[in-house]
Structure formats: C-alpha cells, structure tokens
C-alpha cells in the first residue's frame, strides 16, 4: 500500500493532523479535477484554492506550488521502492530484486486512483516533466535499498544500477498508463529488465 508517511512506531495522528491530512487530499483532488478539465498550464493556484474552499494563502500551507500537488504525491509513492528492494531475498541478483520490487510497487500504485491521476498529469504535461526531478526520488530510493541489502556493493555500482532501474521502471509506468493492464505490466517489466541485462552483457 502507498504509505501515508507515518512510521509504525509513531503515536497515532491527532485530530488536527487528521483534519490537515483530509484537507490536503481535498486540495489534491480539486487540483486534479481542474488539471483534467482545463489543462495543467491553464489552471491557477487561485482556482485550486477556490475549488478546495480555502484561500490561496492556506493552499501554500500545504503545497509550495501547483507542481507540488502532483510531484509531492508521485515522490511519496516511488520512494517506497527502496524498502521493497531491501526486503528482497538475499542472494537474488540485484536487477531481479529491482524488477520484482518494481512490480510490487506498480501493483500498489495502480490501486490508487489518485496516484494514477497524478502520474497521468506528469506524463501529459511538458511543464511538469521539464521542471520536475521525477526520476530522482526513485534513483535515490533504489540506491539506498541496494546498499542496505548488499552493504558490500560499492556506492558507484549501486548508483548505476539504481539509475538504470529507475529508467526501466519509468517505461513500465508509461506502459501501465497507456494500457491500464496491471497483469500485462508484470510481463512487460520482466521483459524490459531481461533485455537490458542481455544488452549490457553483450556491449
């Protein structure tokens, strides 16, 4: 499941924290409705705030910009792949660990309509793609997960594997958004990783 950002050993959220979390989701959904109706570039923060029944000043208590509405959710989701990689069986080759962790993550992400809508905005908005660091959170998370799982691996090797893995996972996300085929994306992802390993071994 997509994490809500709260660790298991933390106390439950207060009533104020729950209200803030609910308002944040209201603003995300309002923004996504507007992005889909008008386009990302044509939508203003004032319009999002109005649709969420708050002032623009209150909007900025939750998000740094309208970009952050989309990218904040995406970052929170993809960053979890590091924990999934770290929990893969010892002795499993790193590319397979990344691939299988990625498939597990995709299944969780695809189950969240809100998250899929955010991904669709990212893929369809040149402004978001140009101004975002969309791939970086996944690269960082993969690198961290690999080093936790295999402390003996060099940081340079982990960084290369993480960068390649993130690029392949982006292809899988694009496939999922295009086809809406959560079953087929598993085969697509495994095939992409297999082809990549074959290409690198023959290069």
Low-confidence stretches of the chain (pLDDT < 70) are 1-10, 130-135, 201-203
All CATH 1.10.10.60 domain ranges of the chain, comma separated, are 15-63
Domain 15-63 class in CATH: mainly alpha
Question: For position 1, what pLDDT does the model report?
Answer: 46
Question: For position 131, what pLDDT does the model report?
Answer: 57
Question: For position 33, what pLDDT does the model report?
Answer: 98
Predicted TM-score (pTM) of the model is 0.79
* Contacts of range 121-127, beta carbons closer than 8 Å, 24 or more positions apart: 121/32, 121/35, 121/36, 121/40, 121/70, 122/70, 122/71, 122/74, 123/173, 123/174, 123/177, 124/40, 125/35, 125/40, 125/41, 125/70, 127/40, 127/41, 127/67
3 state SS of 9: coil
pLDDT (tens digit per residue) in 132-141: 555 678 899 9
Structure-token pair, residue 10: 């933390």
Question: For position 135, what pLDDT does the model report?
Answer: 64
The CATH H-level (homologous superfamily) assignment of domain 71-202 is Tetracycline Repressor, domain 2 (1.10.357.10)
- Residues 30 and 28: their CA atoms lie apart, in Å, by 5
Structure-token pair, residue 148: 């936790």
All CATH 1.10.357.10 domain ranges of the chain, comma separated, are 71-202
- Residues 78 and 157: their CA atoms lie apart, in Å, by 21
């Amino acid at each position: 499941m997509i994490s809500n950002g709260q660790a298991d050993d933390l106390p439950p959220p207060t009533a104020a924290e729950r209200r803030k979390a609910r308002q944040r989701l209201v603003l995300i959904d309002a923004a996504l409705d507007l992005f889909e109706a008008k386009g990302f570039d044509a939508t203003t923060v004032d319009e999002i705030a109005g649709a969420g029944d708050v002032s623009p000043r209150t909007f900025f208590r939750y998000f740094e910009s309208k970009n952050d509405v989309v990218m904040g959710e995406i970052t929170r989701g993809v960053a979890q792949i590091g924990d999934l990689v770290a929990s893969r069986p010892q002795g499993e080759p790193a590319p397979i660990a990344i691939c299988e962790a990625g498939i597990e993550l995709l299944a969780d992400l695809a189950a969240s309509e809100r998250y899929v809508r955010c991904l669709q905005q990212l893929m369809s908005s040149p402004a978001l793609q140009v101004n975002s660091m969309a791939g970086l959170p996944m690269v960082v998370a993969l690198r961290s997960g690999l080093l936790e799982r295999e402390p003996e691996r060099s940081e340079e090797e982990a960084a290369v594997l993480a960068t390649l893995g993130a690029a392949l996972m982006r292809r899988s996300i694009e496939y999922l958004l295009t086809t809406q085929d959560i079953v087929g994306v598993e085969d697509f992802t495994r095939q992409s990783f297999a082809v990549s390993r074959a290409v690198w071994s023959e290069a």
